[in-house]
Amino acid sequence: MIVSVIGLGYIGLPTAAILASRGIKVVGVDTNQHVVDTINKGKVHIVEPDLDTKVHTSVQTGNLRATIQVEKADVFIITVPTPFKENHIPDISYIESAAKAIASVLEKGNLVILESTSPVGTTEKVMEWMREECHNLSFPEFGVDSGLADIFVAHCPERVLPGNILHELIENDRTIGGITIQCAKRARDLYKVFVKADFLITDC
């Protein structure tokens, strides 16, 4: 399995490093060339306890590498920022850019997970942005578990405290909302690789 983590900040890089430490091949994607170069040297650009060691080891074993271009993968995890604009309106343009970049390499059977903190309805928007670019692939219909869709889409927001991120990514319970319950279960199967806590399966 290859997992692509889009956005290598305070959530994306720890998530990528934890997956890589479990033997998963991880390709981290970031638009900042300095971030990409730093990670590929086995170093980190953010301060978080024990992250530097985990990244260094994962790069050395070949399970983690970074790039500025989205590549084909089995799973895509979107962990880009969602800053506020004026009047506290969330800016989801980074999510839109990530979704469209993923669409350019999307293949049947792929799972796309949105982790970025975002307004209700953003998961559906991610799916629509990808659908607009991928006319040859079928996407799930909200609430309809037909099992016939080519692509699986879910939302799994993280809730972690800086300074304890690596521990909490593993130990905190996870709520996973899928476009369909089948999508949510596919995401749960991925998180089971490293999450030791409970999962709440719901819709997005």
pLDDT tens profile 39-56: 999 999 999 999 999 999
- What is the C-alpha to C-alpha distance for residues 40 and 61, in angstroms, rounded to an integer? 12
Instruction: Give the model's pLDDT for residue 46.
Output: 96
Tokens of 78: 């979107």
pLDDT tens profile 151-175: 999 999 988 999 999 999 999 999 9
Q: What is the share, in percent, of the chain residues with pLDDT greater than 90?
A: 94
Cα-Cα-Cα-Cα dihedral sign, residues 28, 30, 35, 38: positive
Does pLDDT of 146 surpass 90? no
Identity of residue 87: N
Q: Given pLDDT bands bounded at 50, 70 and 90, which one contains residue 148?
A: confident
The phi and psi torsions of 10 (rounded to 5 degrees) equal -70, -15
Helix, strand, or coil (residue 126): helix
- What is the C-alpha to C-alpha distance for residues 72 and 102, in angstroms, rounded to an integer? 8
Q: Once rounded to an integer, what is the mean pLDDT over residues 4-17?
A: 98
Q: Which of 166, 184, 174, 178 is nearest to 15 (CA)?
A: 166
Instruction: Give the model's pLDDT for residue 79.
Output: 98
Q: Locate the DSSP E strands across the chain.
A: 2-6, 25-29, 64-67, 75-78, 111-114, 152-155, 174-178, 199-203
Q: Once rounded to an integer, what is the mean pLDDT over residues 93-112?
A: 98
